[in-house]
Chain A
């Protein structure tokens, strides 16, 4: 019972940590055991505590200062669970400067609760099912294959010298994670 309580405590803490800016609270989660508990878990697998596995896409992003805007956006859109899913997933992760480069007020506007769906749509447009590291992307470019994205769009992959670009966004780093690949990019990819 003690263990159960402390686990709940950890889950509760995580909840507060990850879901700041949402209307979920630790106290509502602490009522697990009633039917309410089932409804109060929007984070899904994102609330799993696992220190043994390699970090997943969400954990890596949260740990990256260069991606604080992206993480805030993911949290505002409440799509954390997508980034911890079994995948496999390739995420093109714009750095903070990429968001800063958007027209003034764009990010603030997207972070508003009423624009949650639009924001989620833009973010899922940065995720591709499958595992594509730089070599994999170069192969896509060479073979002329487009990347099918989670929002249903197809993105063109091109190369310029040693650089790889996805819909014009340049890949500046690649990180292997436990459930897929993060390609850090210098631009936000906006739907056409």
Chain B
């Protein structure tokens, strides 16, 4: 124990020395923009469009932010796992089911790794997937609407971290559990973790319309599964997951999970898994997990509880899993565009380890094993090693690639990005980040076709980088030009929450496919009113349904009487507009939830429980038109038991 503490201290001291020796000079931010043409490189003139969409995770905000590159302009925050009062996500009746889980309604999560759908190994611009860490979930965002279309809970998991990465034809999106847990969950002593806890790796199939289905889980030994990336090209059909805590410690992991010289990268042959599934080698185990789907037709989500999952046990499935020894608690697990190299970013390792897929296949064929763990063969380190990047920096976290055979790795402790050459393993360039970088992202970086023009480094700490805002500061993204031999820091911009990881692609893969309005005639919401003539107020006991419409610049009806204290009122509001970028809002005084923000042709529902007698206003919250301020109305609330008749009107008619 003492020894470990000492070595970590030494580590930190040497880190400090390295940084002190010119690793991180200030000039990068202070006069960089003036020293070259950097300002021009990120300037996108008013009215012009950015070249790339960047989807940057909001981390603990639970959301996904959409930026343009190179400008760093923020276009939209897409609510995924957290309620968003601005858009009524998780507040209106239609989207509440999106946040249902086997634990009930969970209105927050820790969003980590977005990944874009692919076809033939290239980004196709259809969907963006992102994982929720805390209450294990994967969400799919439809890039036609930039709305969360689907959320699937992951059973037998805890801390859904090595997620949500897709295979090269989006056959699967994967989810690996950070925490191993008892499977199935049961009441048992924590100290009996070792050998008893399991780590589930989940393979979720993705259909032609994007629909997700938990196809199978592989029940792995009780390690922690950190990150993952798919094979591509020749290695398509394999998936690689980094592990840490191969010690199977259950306490003080910062020390106890750093004991082994090497942890593992788990190489999963998912095509083999499909064979085993087809051959019936799985067991079906009871589980409980929510599957939530939003429909653009009904403008509503449904939540279905699923009851079982197919499980493969590696010990019963030879050839399914191999372990590649990888030094020191690797974090990022990154496969180069060719599919040959698998980079293990050993967080506590002095060197960066790169495995060879070809050598791996050879070692498997010739059974060059170095023992086994829980029935899973461990390949000999020397026999799978492609090369080592020697002493590139401190605290390697994550690597991505350009289209010229170079790799770029972030180093958390030494706060830098290091460019190195695949094959020769030589370091070509290093640039400081400000400060403490986590992941980095190159557009198309997790695909066969990266666009090696920009690199975005995502920093955890900003200290003196921006105007201070009290104790809590924003985190940041930093944009580098990587088109030349040397990287060049162009700009940095603040992000929402924690910019944990990101995905990006050229805008023309996404922009032309946008839904601009929802066709009113296609609206299948059960409470839609497609014209003012269809508006009405219906009482069913103490439940009142208001079928309401909105168009510039009034609600129909806008005067409602006969509501009583104790009623449960549902305002089903349809935006009759068929004009791009003309949403309307709806707010009711005293509503215990949020506003509604309704797109053209869409219907949303606000629940309101009037508690006080009186005449209460409602109004449009979105500055929709020249007469927006006039877009308002009243609801008369009478005492419970009052005989005031139910009535509604617009302009007295």
Interface residues of A (CB under 8 A from B): 1-4, 7, 32-34, 37-38, 41, 50, 52-54, 56, 85-88, 129-131, 139, 178-180
Q: Are the C-beta atoms of A32 and B45 separated by less than 8 Å?
A: yes
Task: Tell me the bound Cα distance from A139 to B651 in angstroms.
Answer: 10
Q: Are the C-beta atoms of A178 and B626 separated by less than 8 Å?
A: no
In the bound complex, residues from chain B placing their C-beta under 8 Å from that of A139 are 651, 653
Is B580 an interface position by the 8 A CB rule? yes
Smallest CB separation, A79 vs chain B (Å): 15
In the bound complex, residues from chain B placing their C-beta under 8 Å from that of A7 are 49
Q: A3-B49, A32-B47, A37-B47 are in contact. Are A129 and B627 (CB under 8 A)?
A: yes
Is B277 an interface position by the 8 A CB rule? no
Q: Are the C-beta atoms of B47 and A178 separated by less than 8 Å?
A: no
Task: Tell me the bound Cα distance from A52 to B599 in angstroms.
Answer: 14
In the bound complex, residues from chain B placing their C-beta under 8 Å from that of A85 are 626
Is B511 an interface position by the 8 A CB rule? yes
Q: Are the C-beta atoms of A178 and B553 separated by less than 8 Å?
A: no
Is B526 an interface position by the 8 A CB rule? no
Is B508 an interface position by the 8 A CB rule? yes
Given contacts A3-B507, A4-B51, A131-B552, 17 further A-B contacts (CB under 8 A): A7-B49, A32-B47, A37-B47, A50-B580, A52-B515, A52-B516, A52-B517, A53-B516, A53-B517, A53-B578, A53-B579, A54-B578, A87-B552, A88-B627, A178-B577, A179-B552, A179-B582
Q: Are the C-beta atoms of A131 and B551 separated by less than 8 Å?
A: yes
Smallest CB separation, A35 vs chain B (Å): 9
Q: Are the C-beta atoms of B580 and A53 separated by less than 8 Å?
A: yes
In the bound complex, residues from chain B placing their C-beta under 8 Å from that of A50 are 516, 580
Task: Tell me the bound Cα distance from A27 to B579 in angstroms.
Answer: 30
- Chain A: CB-nearest residue to B506: A3
- Chain A: CB-nearest residue to B653: A139
Q: Are the C-beta atoms of A4 and B552 separated by less than 8 Å?
A: no
Q: A87-B626, A131-B552 are in contact. Are A37 and B45 (CB under 8 A)?
A: yes
In the bound complex, residues from chain A placing their C-beta under 8 Å from that of B624 are 86
Is B14 an interface position by the 8 A CB rule? no
Smallest CB separation, A32 vs chain B (Å): 6
10 pairs, CB–CB < 8 Å, chain A vs chain B: A3-B49, A3-B507, A37-B46, A50-B516, A86-B582, A88-B553, A88-B625, A131-B551, A131-B552, A131-B553
Q: Are the C-beta atoms of B49 and A178 separated by less than 8 Å?
A: no
Is B48 an interface position by the 8 A CB rule? yes
List B residues 13-49 near A (Cβ within 8 Å): 45-49
Which of A38, A41, A53, A86 is within 8 Å of B625, CB to CB?
Answer: A86
Smallest CB separation, A187 vs chain B (Å): 26
Smallest CB separation, B579 vs chain A (Å): 4
List B residues 492-520 near A (Cβ within 8 Å): 507-508, 511, 515-517
Q: Are the C-beta atoms of A56 and B579 separated by less than 8 Å?
A: yes
Measured as residues with beta carbon below 8 angstroms from the partner, the interface class of chain B is 20 to 34
Smallest CB separation, B49 vs chain A (Å): 6
Which of B507, B580, B626 is within 8 Å of A88, CB to CB?
Answer: B626
The 3 A-B pairs at the shortest CB distance, nearest first, are namely A52-B516, A178-B579, A88-B552
List B residues 598-652 near A (Cβ within 8 Å): 600, 624-627, 651
Task: Tell me the bound Cα distance from A54 to B626 in angstroms.
Answer: 20
- Chain A: CB-nearest residue to B515: A52
Q: Are the C-beta atoms of B48 and A4 separated by less than 8 Å?
A: yes
Q: Are the C-beta atoms of A86 and B552 separated by less than 8 Å?
A: yes
Smallest CB separation, A166 vs chain B (Å): 19
Smallest CB separation, A185 vs chain B (Å): 22
Smallest CB separation, A180 vs chain B (Å): 8
- Chain A: CB-nearest residue to B625: A86
In the bound complex, residues from chain A placing their C-beta under 8 Å from that of B552 are 86-88, 131, 179-180
In the bound complex, residues from chain A placing their C-beta under 8 Å from that of B579 are 53-54, 56, 86, 178-179
Smallest CB separation, B517 vs chain A (Å): 6
Task: Tell me the bound Cα distance from A130 to B600 in angstroms.
Answer: 18
Q: Are the C-beta atoms of B578 and A33 separated by less than 8 Å?
A: no
Task: Tell me the bound Cα distance from A38 to B626 in angstroms.
Answer: 24
In the bound complex, residues from chain A placing their C-beta under 8 Å from that of B580 are 50, 52-53
Chain A proximity mask over B518-558: 1 for CB below 8 Å, otherwise 0: 00000000000000000000000000000000011100000
In the bound complex, residues from chain B placing their C-beta under 8 Å from that of A2 are 508
Task: Tell me the bound Cα distance from A50 to B517 in angstroms.
Answer: 11
In the bound complex, residues from chain A placing their C-beta under 8 Å from that of B578 are 53-54, 178
In the bound complex, residues from chain B placing their C-beta under 8 Å from that of A130 are 553, 627
Chain A proximity mask over B225-249: 1 for CB below 8 Å, otherwise 0: 0000000000000000000000000
Task: Tell me the bound Cα distance from A1 to B69 in angstroms.
Answer: 12
Task: Tell me the bound Cα distance from A100 to B553 in angstroms.
Answer: 35
Q: Are the C-beta atoms of B627 and A38 separated by less than 8 Å?
A: no
List B residues 103-129 near A (Cβ within 8 Å): none
In the bound complex, residues from chain B placing their C-beta under 8 Å from that of A1 are 51
Task: Tell me the bound Cα distance from A86 to B627 in angstroms.
Answer: 10
Chain A proximity mask over B579-602: 1 for CB below 8 Å, otherwise 0: 110100000000000000000100
- Chain B: CB-nearest residue to A176: B578
Task: Tell me the bound Cα distance from A33 to B580 in angstroms.
Answer: 26
Which one of B49, B516, B579, B625 has the greatest number of beta carbons of chain A within 10 Å?
B579
Task: Tell me the bound Cα distance from A56 to B552 in angstroms.
Answer: 14
Task: Tell me the bound Cα distance from A2 to B507 in angstroms.
Answer: 11
- Chain A: CB-nearest residue to B626: A129
Smallest CB separation, A57 vs chain B (Å): 11
In the bound complex, residues from chain B placing their C-beta under 8 Å from that of A179 are 552, 579, 582
In the bound complex, residues from chain B placing their C-beta under 8 Å from that of A131 are 551-553
Task: Tell me the bound Cα distance from A7 to B45 in angstroms.
Answer: 14
Q: A86-B626, A129-B627 are in contact. Are A4 and B47 (CB under 8 A)?
A: no
In the bound complex, residues from chain A placing their C-beta under 8 Å from that of B626 are 85-88, 129
In the bound complex, residues from chain A placing their C-beta under 8 Å from that of B47 are 32, 37, 41
Task: Tell me the bound Cα distance from A56 to B582 in angstroms.
Answer: 12
In the bound complex, residues from chain A placing their C-beta under 8 Å from that of B45 are 32-34, 37
In the bound complex, residues from chain A placing their C-beta under 8 Å from that of B625 are 86-88
- Chain A: CB-nearest residue to B520: A54
Task: Tell me the bound Cα distance from A171 to B50 in angstroms.
Answer: 47
Task: Tell me the bound Cα distance from A86 to B628 in angstroms.
Answer: 10
In the bound complex, residues from chain A placing their C-beta under 8 Å from that of B627 are 88, 129-130
Task: Tell me the bound Cα distance from A86 to B51 in angstroms.
Answer: 29
